[in-house]
Structure 1
């Protein structure tokens, strides 16, 4: 049985990724900082309560993965939205926490997954970036900076791991319906003096397909990237967003 580890897999995109691999017959391991979310996970999943940015915790998770026989796919998905504010109003601690979870979390997962995959001579590393990591984003400087850096990390991983038969790619979700984006909508509406509905409509209007996407769409892409159908797909930045045209949503 093939094994996948999904960080931040208790809800949202991470949960959808885990569910897709489960449906595909994979052994699913999931980490999340929220123990309550993991309580609701299927009982046959292997779950670990862990902050993705905590090295000791992540080291322990990967030690358990190694003891279980290794890892075929890593989906480093853990992330937080961070503050919604103009750059001059962003608190340094909020900046650091956002960058820590989104970037350092991906780094730590890759750091401990790499030796297992190199030893096996195969594997797929999938990092969750964002369209904010392709275009930048007003009022979201910490998040955009971290997600741009995730792409740089992925490109480097593809170069380092490729000779060992290991691929690395990044998925860039656009606006994904779900609880986390509801918080973003509320904060962005307040920051811009707009209604939640106007901001929501603006996200859709900023794509050529005039739509939001669903978490399951990200799960499908992650599953494809782990499959033999994508055996020579590496170092790629793949947006699942309906094609973002305007990174500053307006009504």
Structure 2
């Protein structure tokens, strides 16, 4: 049975990915920094509390899980909502630590066993913020851009060993995390939550948000044999973002 590990797999996109791989017949491992997020995951999954930015913890979980067929480096936080000049350095560091260093640590400690086995797929969760500028979200955008550089480097280094790497760039994803973003941006821009929501939707050619299951479907495809020659790619699942903030 193939094995997948999803970081931040206790809720949101990560949980949807885990369910998608479970449905595809994978043995599922999930980590999450929040113990309560793991309380309700299926008992057949291997669930571990782990801070994605804690190298000792990450190394321990990767060693316990053993060789993975798919690694979803998915952990991330929204970070502060503020103009660049108003972002506290501590908030910058916290956001970059989880989003970028978390992805780096997952790859660092997951890749050796994959390369030794001569197979594997690393799926990084970036964002459309890693493709465009993102007003009032500088730390998040910077980290998500950097994940794409990390992914392309992993693809080049690990490709000769039969290991692929790709990045999914979700757009605006329906759910509690995006609701928090909408409310913070509304406050920062002097707008209502609905105005910000409509602005996001209007910035896509399909005029819609996406669901966590849409991201999960792409992750399962990238982890499957159907994508065996897909590597080093940045794939947006966002309804085609034309302008990330048309109302700014």
In structure 2, what is the equivalent of residue 233 of structure 1? 230
**Matched residue pairs, number?**
248
Structure 2 unpaired stretches of 5+? none
* 1:18 correspondence with 2:15: no
- 1:1-251 map, 5 Å: 1-66=1-66, 70-250=67-247
What is the aligned-residue RMSD (CA, Å)? 0.8
C-alpha deviation, 1:249, in angstroms: 4.2
Measured in 2, the distance between the counterparts of 1:136 and 1:230 equals 29
Measured in 2, the distance between the counterparts of 1:59 and 1:159 equals 23
Measured in 2, the distance between the counterparts of 1:209 and 1:73 equals 30
Measured in 2, the distance between the counterparts of 1:176 and 1:250 equals 19
Contact 1:6 1:31 in 2 (8 A): yes
C-alpha deviation, 1:250, in angstroms: 2.4
Deviations 1:22-58 (A, max 9, x none): 1111000000000001011111110010110000100
Moved over 6 A (4+): none
Measured in 2, the distance between the counterparts of 1:249 and 1:204 equals 10
Measured in 1, the distance between the counterparts of 2:31 and 2:128 equals 24
